[in-house]
């Protein structure tokens, strides 16, 4: 009993000591230039069956000429490391409900067939080049029952590995303050990092919006690999 006790305690101490030492030697703690985009819940409606068309234009499905209902939004941005270098070859996926509040997930759309906008792709992806930039054409997000903050779900993958799951919300939207997920992003600074300005495109005759949303990935075990690319 006694010897076992000591063993256990030693194990514990070793664990604690490691953490204590790590604290003093963690390098580059303050070297980060960019604040990491907070991760947020994936939510229940990531597509259970990916659509045939998964391109970065969510307004038109395949060769259809009928656009989705909703306010067209050009969503652009860059995927960066916390040191500010662009992440190349990252896949960014977005998904959101259509203007009638239906996701392309059978658990949601199954009971809302009549409500669903059949012309909205609901999901799209894009692979970044050397500049880390991405681009989507989609609709300005709308609130969803239980989610007063309109939002676009975002997932970033690299080499098949998921690096970040988060949500983009509309800066200044009145629903944000009442939204549980928005509140869960952390402090006021973190909340800034998950919001984007949806600005009217001046030249647009059909009232399009543009939103720029940069995504900063945290340090991951693959960090070196990312910046080395």
Partner 1 sequence: MKRTVAKLAWLGMITTASMTFAQPPRDAGPGGRGRGPGGEGGGGVEESVTRLMAFDKNNDGKLSSDEIGDTRLKSLMERADANKDSVVTKEELTQLLNKEAQSRPDGGPGGRGPEGGMGRGGRGGPEGGPGGPGGRGPGDQGPMGMRPGTVLPPFLVEQLKLNDTQKISIAKLQATVDAELAKILTAEQQEQMKQMAQGFRGGREGEGRGPGRPEGDGRGPGRP
- Which residues lie near partner 1 (CB under 8 A)? 5, 8-21, 23, 26, 29-30, 32-36, 39-45, 97, 103, 108, 144-147, 153, 171, 177-181, 183-189, 191-193, 195, 197, 212, 214, 218-221
What residues contact 197, with CB distance under 8 A and at least 6 apart?
171, 172, 211, 212
Q: How far is the CB of 65 from partner 1 (least distance, A)?
A: 29
Nearer residue to partner 1 within complex by CB, 12 or 118: 12
Select from 179, 108, 167 the least CA-distant residue to 143.
Answer: 179
Specify the residue for token string 């509309």: 170
Q: How far is the CB of 59 from partner 1 (least distance, A)?
A: 21
Nearer residue to partner 1 within complex by CB, 66 or 225: 225
CA distance linking residue 225 with residue 227, whole number of Å: 6
Nearer residue to partner 1 within complex by CB, 172 or 228: 172
Nearer residue to partner 1 within complex by CB, 117 or 179: 179
Check the CA dihedral 206-124-199-191 and report its sign: positive
Residue 187 corresponds to which tokens in the numbers above? 């402090």
């Amino acid at each position: 009993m006694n010897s076992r006790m000591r063993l256990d305690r030693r194990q514990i101490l070793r664990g604690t000591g490691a953490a204590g030492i790590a604290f003093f030697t963690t390098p580059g703690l303050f070297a980060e230039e960019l604040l990491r985009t907070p991760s947020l819940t994936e939510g229940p409606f990531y597509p259970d069956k990916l659509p045939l068309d998964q391109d970065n234009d969510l307004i038109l499905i395949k060769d259809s000429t009928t656009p989705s209902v909703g306010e067209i939004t050009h969503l652009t941005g860059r995927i960066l490391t916390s040191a500010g270098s662009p992440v190349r070859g990252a896949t960014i996926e977005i998904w959101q409900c259509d203007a009638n509040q239906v996701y392309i997930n059978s658990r949601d759309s199954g009971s809302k067939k009549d409500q669903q906008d059949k012309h909205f792709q609901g999901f799209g992806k894009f692979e970044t080049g050397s500049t880390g930039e991405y681009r989507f054409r989609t609709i300005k997000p709308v609130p969803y029952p239980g989610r007063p903050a309109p939002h676009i779900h975002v997932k970033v993958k690299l080499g098949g590995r998921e690096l970040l799951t988060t949500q983009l919300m509309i800066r200044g939207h009145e629903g944000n303050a009442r939204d549980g997920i928005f509140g869960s992003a952390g402090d006021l600074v973190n909340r800034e990092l998950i919001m984007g300005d949806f600005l009217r495109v001046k030249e647009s005759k059909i009232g399009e919006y543009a939103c720029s949303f940069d995504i900063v990935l945290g340090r991951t075990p693959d960090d070196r690999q990312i910046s080395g690319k």
